[in-house]
Amino acid sequence: MLSGFMNFLRACFRPRSDRYVHSSSDAGGRQDGLLWYKDIGQHFNGEFSMAVVQANNLLEDQSQLESGCLSSHECGPYGTFVGVYDGHGGPETSRYINDHLFQHLKRPNSYRFLSVILLCCASLLNFSCGAWFLSFIYLLLFCLVIFVIHATLICSGFTSEQQTMSVDVIRKAYQATEEGFLSLVTRQWPMNPQIAAVGSCCLVGVICAGTLYVANLGDSRAVLGRAVKATGEVLAIQLSAEHNACIESVRQELQSLHPDDSQIVVLKHNVWRVKGLIQISKSIGDVYLKKAEFNREPLYPKFRLREPFKKPILSADPSITVHQLQPHDQFVIFASDGLWEHLSNQEAVDIVQNHSRSGIARRLVKTALQEAAKKREMRYSDLKKIDRGVRRHFHDDITVIVVFLNSNLVSKASSVKGPNLSVRGGGVTLPPRGFRKRCKPYSLMYTVTLDWKLILAFCICVGTPKKRTRKEYKVEVITSLHLAGVELVSEEQLHVSSQGS
């Protein structure tokens, strides 16, 4: 009981210094010019290999592999989470997804329920508690009560949805991420309106208890390599559904959803685009095509539509497939469209099958770059010399994660514990501007994780000994509620972000 309570407190106050720092020391990744790679590693269900090459001036691709516990409590489930986030218009959305989607997947709904209870109690105690030491005592007592209630809810099955992975859990994580980014855009719009035109594709794979869940928005792709015993070949099986206007079924779907709009898809420069602006029909972000109030000045004219729209043009509802893994399922390739522009599904699978596992993701990236150079009638060695930004004229950012499947490990029950591993691709070493939390007037926010903002909200409500007017109290309660559900950005940082955009 005591050890469980201490783990609960550690979860509330875990340090945040590792949230954005993903250098070469992070789980062994290495940087070679514009290429970041991790040749081989061990995840819960086998081995993996990762590689990312940058083409844009700012890397818009983000990626992660999380292995071990897939929930916020120690009951499990256990497995492997893979995410590939191909941003467009800037890196803000893909970075946001990288920092929030997996956390939304892990966070039990009961935590949000308990946070509301704690905030209400904190508000009531505000009138009777006036000293810091009393606030601290009340805080510890409430943590203990919350822990006991949470443990009871787990035992009674209230949080059973987090003890097994499901399509619903993944869909809710996508929804929470989309809502969180919309909230961020709403706050930044006055100072940085162009963030409304930033978005990201979002490909996720979750391996848990012998089942592979693949969720997708946009045109990234997951391809399974399956061995055929009779011939010894390995066949490529695409697991993800794509949402690109170049696909006829996607155009038909858009036309059926918008029967009164003859310009919902337009052939522009020999490329099909939604409203003549964007190729994909589903994404996180791209708020300017989802909320009419953001499709106006001061957004750049090239993003503004001539006529207002009544319902969202783009969607954030992912296509999710469920695949029961078999012993002859060898590996899965998760990659952004930068790879698939140059390699077919079968070509990529053949490369993985015919070469050593170590460095296989880097080999796939190199092969794609060689094909890109060949199309431009230049040597691969010359392409490598081209700097970021200019490199985008030759190829896109490319992210590849190859996950090998060990049938003995895959078949393990989701309740069997394994070591936790977290790897992020791309070698990001600086926090994204405009995403840091407000450091004034509460500097403590730099040390407390956003997963438990509710405790910080409690401190604010009861921690100050002075008496408040009704207006002051209202401001602090609103601030506390924001802290319990939304990240805050200071006006100074918004100003810096808007100047740098």
The angle formed by the CA atoms of residues 396, 84 and 495, to the nearest 5 degrees, is 75
Mean pLDDT in the chain? 78
If phi > 0 it is left, if psi is from -120 to 50 it is alpha, else beta; for residue 137 that is: alpha
Nearest CA to 295 out of 279, 274, 310 is that of 310
First-to-last alpha carbon distance for the chain, in angstroms, is 50
Structure tokens at 47: 């081995």
Q: Point out which residues pair with 37 in neighbouring strands.
A: 30, 51
Question: What pLDDT score does 109 carry?
Answer: 46
Distance of alpha carbon 63 from alpha carbon 397, whole angstroms: 12
pLDDT at 463 over 80: no
* Residue pair 32/124 in contact by the 8 Å Cβ criterion: no
- Residue 150 binned pLDDT confidence (cut-offs 50, 70, 90): low
Q: Cα torsion at 110, 116, 118, 120 (round to 10°)?
A: -150
Phi (first) and psi of residue 228, to 5 degrees: -110, 110
For 30-111+163-244+280-425, CATH number out of 1.20.1250.10, 3.90.25.10, 3.60.40.10, 3.30.365.10 equals: 3.60.40.10
pLDDT at 248: 95
Could you tell me the CA-to-CA distances from 45 to 108, 215, 332, 406 in Å, in that order? 24, 19, 12, 6
pLDDT digits (tens, 9 = 90+) for 391-436: 999 999 999 999 999 877 776 655 567 778 899 997 543 343 443 3
The set of residues, in sequence order, having a beta carbon less than 8 Å from that of 253 and lying 6+ positions away, is: 281
Specify the range with the lowest mean pLDDT, choosing from 68-82, 130-144, 444-458: 444-458
> Is residue 335 within 8 Å of 236, Cβ to Cβ?
no
What is the spatial distance between Cα 432 and Cα 122, in angstroms, rounded to a whole number?
A: 33
Label the pairing between strands 421-425 and 265-268: unpaired
**What per-residue confidence (pLDDT) applies to 409?**
75
pLDDT at 427: 52
